[in-house]
Each structure stands twice: as C-alpha cells, then as structure tokens.
Amino acid sequence: MNTAACRLRAALAAPHRTIAALVYDPVSARVAEMRGLDICYLGGSVVKSANFALPDDVAMSGWSELAEACRRIRRVADLALIMDVDDAGGTSLSILRTVRELEAAGVAGVEIEDNSVPQYYGQATSRHALIAPVEVQVDRYRAALAARRSEDTVVFARTVAHTFSDTPAEEYRRRVAAYAATGVDGLVLPELDHHGLDGKADVEAAHEAARDLPIIALGLSFELQQDSEWLAANRVKILVAKDNWAYRMAVRAIDDCFAHLAAGGNPADLVERAVPLPTVRRVMTRTQEYRDWSERYDSLQARP
C-alpha cells in the first residue's frame, strides 16, 4: 500500500481545502514537512530549473532523472508528493514508463497536461499553446490509469483550455467532461489568473462539467481561497500558490550571500539573515532521530 497516496486521496475527499507546499528539492520538502504541510506539489518548471538548470520551454529531462529527483525528496520527507510531468512524453509507452517510474519513486499523484511541450523555440506562441486533440488526450489518461501498479496512485488530468479565452468556452467544458469520464482522480486547473481574472468562472464551469471530480487550483485569487463555502461547493480540494515563491526566495538569498562574500564582506554580517547553524545540523538533518536509532539498535556494539 502506498500510504502517501492514501493520504492524498484523503485530502481529495476531505470536506475542507488543503494548502499544498510548492517544493523543489529535498531541503524545501524537509522544511514543508517541519511546517506540517503534508501535501506537496512539484511543478515541471521548477524541477527543470532547480534540478537541471533547464528552462520550462524544453521537454522534461530523462524520466529516470525525474524519478530520482522525486526519490530524493521522498527519502528525506514523508510527504504526499504530486508530480507535474508535462505531457509525460506524449505516447502511451512513455506514459507507461513515467507512471511506473514515479510510483517506484514513491510519488503519490501524477499530473499529466493536455498540451505538448514545444520541441524547439518558435514552434508555439506560448509554452502551453500546443494543446492536444481531446480524443488523443483521453487515450493518454486511459493509458496512465492502466499503467498504475497500485490503484492507490492518484492520476490527475490537467487542462489549459480555459486560458485561451476570457470566459469558459464550450471546448473547455467538453474537455473537462471527457477527461472526467476516463476515471481520472482529479482535475488540475493552472493559471486561473489568466487575463487578469480571479478564476471563479473557470472553476465553476469545470465543476459543472465534471460534478464529482476534485479540483486542484493554481492561481486562484486570494479572496476566493478564503471562501470555504464556495471552495466546498465547487469541490476545490487543494490550493497551490503560483510562481514557485520558495524557490525564488531561496535563489535571492543565495545570490545575496554570494554577492556579499564576493565583494569581500564579513561572513559575520550574515548571521542575522541566516537560520542558526544548530538548526541546520540538528533539525534539518534529523540528528536526534539518527542518534536515537543508533542507541536503540547498536547496543551490542562496542562503545568508547
């Protein structure tokens, strides 16, 4: 049994909404765990940038490397991790491998987009412009569901169809209904702030088209995020902040540190801006947990 996936399913069934931590590496995942954020989301753009120094406009790195990034996170933090895998390679065989690689890495949920990643710059007007035909995408979700070795693993459909117009179009509603009919476990709606909107109309249209499908919302206005009654009525179960704030703040901190030191600054001047060293050495790395483990099970070892 994938206990992390079971916790994710519990969050999707809960009457209240859950805030997901947008993590990008083992350190951010450990901090999220320390803050009690059990559901975590690993976006395709941030995993490319933080782990491989790749821009979002190129296809995902090798699936074994992607799975290893997830494995490193799950190794240090017992989190229910949702992984955005772009279009998962676009073919049924690549979807098969992707789902099983990520299952083996301990991922709780796999999110597959209905747009293709541009293969070269200039191929599309935007990162998400190459939307797949609905019939093709339906087959991709069916393949992902069939690829699971464990039915605990959660498969999410993600659509960008709502971003092509200011108001929910019939094509958007048709896609959501078709994706829901495949049996996917939830729907991811990114960029709900497109065209300066708050996301309300897009979410309500998705809920109407697929009544029972839980929704993960990215970019929903802060006011709507606070409206628990509206969230529950539209089955918005997980909220994810846009724009990778933790990653951006971490890059800023690293840049500030190196700029200070490169200019000949005194390291002591950074003390007030840094986490105390004992916290890093003892808490972040679970020193006490490992010490207790050793004392419990190495009792027969000779000790000085």
Q: pLDDT at position 117, please?
A: 72
pLDDT score at 65:
82
Q: What pLDDT is stored for residue 274 in this prediction?
A: 93
What does the pLDDT read at residue 165?
92
**17, 231 contact by CB (below 8 A):** yes
What secondary structure does DSSP assign to 103-163, as a single string?
A: HHTT-SEEEEESBPPPSSTTSSSSTT--BPPHHHHHHHHHHHHHH-SSTTSEEEEE--GGG
Q: Give dist(CA 282, CA 218) in Å, integer.
A: 34
Residue range 267-297, pLDDT digits in tens = 999 999 999 988 888 888 888 888 899 888 8
Angle between the N-to-C axes of helices 44-52 and 63-76, in degrees from 0 to 180, rounded to the nearest 10: 90
Sign of the Cα pseudo-torsion (262, 265, 268, 271, in order): negative
pLDDT tens-place string over residues 161-220: 999 999 999 999 999 999 999 999 999 999 999 999 999 999 999 999 998 999 999 999
Could you tell me if 182 and 95 are in contact, meaning their C-beta atoms sit under 8 angstroms apart? no
* Look-up of token digits 């690689």: 101
User: Which tokens in the block code for residue 145?
Assistant: 């569901």
Selected residue with higher pLDDT from 303 and 188: 188
Per-residue pLDDT, 304? 57
Query: pLDDT at position 138, please?
Result: 97
What is the rounded distance in angstroms from the CA atom of residue 279 to the CA atom of residue 251? Answer: 20
For the beta carbon of residue 158, count every other beta carbon within 10 angstroms: 24
Q: Which amino acid is at 212?
A: D
pLDDT for 124 beyond 60 = no
Q: Is 18 left (phi over 0), alpha (psi -120 to 50) or beta?
A: beta
Region 74-82 average pLDDT: 95
Q: What is the pLDDT of residues 219-263, one digit of tens each?
A: 999 999 999 999 999 999 999 998 899 999 999 999 999 999 999
Q: Which residues contact 23 (CB under 8 A, 6 or more apart)?
A: 29, 32, 40, 41, 42, 73, 79, 81, 246
Domains of the chain, first to last:
3-242 (3.20.20.60), 275-304 (no CATH)
Regarding pTM above 0.85, the answer is yes
- 1-60: per-residue pLDDT in tens? 789 999 999 999 999 999 999 999 999 999 999 999 999 999 988 888 888 888 877 666
How many other CB atoms sit within 10 Å of the CB of residue 266? 9
Look at residue 300 and tell me whether its pLDDT is greater than 90: no
Residue 114, pLDDT > 90, answer yes
Determine contact, residues 213/193, Cβ cutoff 8 Å: no
- CA end-to-end span of the chain: 42
CA distance 12 to 98: 23
The pLDDT value recorded for residue 48 is: 84
| Residue 218 structure tokens | 């990215």
- What is the number of other CB atoms lying within 10 angstroms of the CB of residue 160? 22
